[in-house]
Amino acid sequence: MLFAVACVGFMLPGCGDSQTVSNRAESRADSKEPASRESTHSAGENRKLVQDQLSTEGSDWPQFLGPRATSVSSEKGIISPWPAEGLRLVWQKPMGTGYGMPSVSRGRLYLFDREGDRARLSCLHPESGELIWKFEYATDYEDYYGYNNGPRCCPVVDGDRVYIYGVEGMLHSLNAADGQLIWKLDTRSEFHVVQNFFGVGSAPVIEGDLLIVQVGGSTKSDNNDGPQKGNGSGVVAFDKLTGKVRYKISDELASYSSPTLATINGRRWCFVLARGGLIAFEPATGKIDFHFPWRARAYESVNASNPVVIDDRVFISECYGLGSALLKAKEGGYEVLWADAEKRFDKSMRCHWNTPIAHEGYLYGSSGRHTHEAELRSIEMATGKVMWSQPDLTRSSLLMVDGHFICLTEDGKLLLLRINPRKYEEISRMELYKRTEPDSSLLRPPCWAAPILSHGLLYVRGHDKLLCFQLIAKK
């Protein structure tokens, strides 16, 4: 059993004076936490670094799965096919423990990891990996299932603020320019969040003046010995400037899927595939439209793939038993268009942690719970019909750009694929990990986070290193 890489992927993140806020969100002045900040540039130099990057062609990647949270980039002109020696490596950087990808905004790259007993947000120059500043805080999280103890969520960048959601449940708002603490809140103590499975692994999203977070607290009598009962904090919306709670909804417990925002028939929606099923609600108010139960019967099962919204249809997937379903969303309810739960075998798609990509009526993603059985698939969205399956790629993640997919397999293969709903078309590949030469390999598995692209630079991570490649040549 694995969790979603949110930041990843795993989804990112204004700044005035610190404020005293309610709901136990603490301002910088009131903070008692042993946090620290270090900067290698003055405030003026920090602002200039940002301005110097604003003219660079391309787009930012400010949240989990990119600008639209779809793992799709609008950039053009990628190198295809790749040279025989592979893409040019621009820089590489060792990392602490964690599973999430960085986020890129306004000439900054924000990387959230852990070193020893300190969770760490590093602000780097995206073209060189040079450290600009870092912010740290103490963490005591230990994983019950033997996975590493670092963050699962990537940073969320919104204007001049950056938000981080730690594996232990600490939520921080920082000044994106210099890392100064604005507010923080311990969701674990505030909402009685029991450490379930792999800790916190659902990246927040920004909607207007709200920071929407899957919290999933339980009743105070609950512990880790068995199933918990929710206490109404399944999803919590915070004022993004102050950390004050604006609303909280649902008795659902948290999953490793991140919220998906969408506009359907002129109305805003938020979809959260929580532990027990899909919650659909109005993000401005928290008014719930429906709950669609969707969880395998096994206690140790999780939902980890994000909902995918296309027009008024919502695709959800898991790998522990039910598979996938396609719903038609409407105010106050839904219609099931098709569902794998009705099939005993031959499920259309069984996504583990990867979120599939929708393109021109088809969905592409990795199907399968275990490494040996996983296949990269194309399915017809309207029916769930499998168009093609490619085995022997292990579990993988996709980034779509310029008529291609960049596919990263968990064992360190980086592939360039042509988008084709009817057949698998591989154009190029790079072996980032070589089993026969592990010491000289660029990466060590597992490679569970989907690659990201910003301003022509492709970022890929493995167990303990971040790589930056030139995917689009400079003009």
- pLDDT tens across 339-355, in order? 999 898 899 999 999 99
- Assigned token pair, 329: 């969303």
Q: pLDDT-derived band of residue 33, with 50, 70 and 90 as boundaries? A: low
In this structure, what DSSP letter does residue 22 have? S
- The full length of the chain comes to 475
Task: Name which of 396, 391, 435, 442 is nearest 415 in CA terms.
Answer: 396
Assess if residue 14 is contained within a domain. Answer: no
- Owner of token pair 């929606």: 269
Burial environment of residue 24 by CB neighbours within 10 A (0 to 12, 13 to 18, 19 or more): middle
Does the pTM surpass 0.95? The reply is no
- Assigned token pair, 181: 């603490």
Between 320 and 57, name the one with better pLDDT: 320
Q: Using an 8 Å Cβ cutoff, are 468 and 129 in contact?
A: yes
Task: Name which of 299, 309, 316, 203 is nearest 256 in CA terms.
Answer: 203
The total domain count for the chain is: 1
Distance between CA atoms of residues 29 and 19, nearest Å: 8
Task: Name which of 385, 396, 394 is nearest 421 in CA terms.
Answer: 385
Residue 223: the pLDDT is 67
Distance between CA atoms of residues 431 and 86, nearest Å: 9
* Percentage of residues of the chain with pLDDT beyond 70: 88
Assess if residue 333 is contained within a domain. Answer: yes
Distance between CA atoms of residues 238 and 161, nearest Å: 14
Consecutive H or E run containing 44? helix 43-53
Question: Going along 384-434, which residue ranges are E strands?
Answer: 386-390, 396-401, 404-409, 413-418, 425-431
Q: Which residues constitute the domain of residue 110?
A: 26-470
The strand pairing partners of 153, in sequence order, are: 6
Between 3 and 66, name the one with better pLDDT: 66
Distance between CA atoms of residues 49 and 174, nearest Å: 18
Average pLDDT estimate for 50-66: 76
- Assigned token pair, 30: 């009131």
Average pLDDT estimate for 417-439: 96
pLDDT digits (tens, 9 = 90+) for 197-247: 899 999 999 999 999 999 999 997 766 666 789 999 999 999 999 999 999
Distance between CA atoms of residues 182 and 326, nearest Å: 41
Q: Using an 8 Å Cβ cutoff, are 305 and 321 in contact?
A: no
The CATH number of the domain holding residue 208 is 2.140.10.10
Assess if residue 461 is contained within a domain. Answer: yes
Three-state DSSP state, 52: helix
Distance between CA atoms of residues 204 and 10, nearest Å: 11
Assess if residue 140 is contained within a domain. Answer: yes
Assess if residue 308 is contained within a domain. Answer: yes
Q: What angle do CA 164, 167, 173 make, to 5 degrees?
A: 20
pLDDT digits (tens, 9 = 90+) for 452-464: 999 999 999 999 9
Assess if residue 301 is contained within a domain. Answer: yes
Assess if residue 197 is contained within a domain. Answer: yes
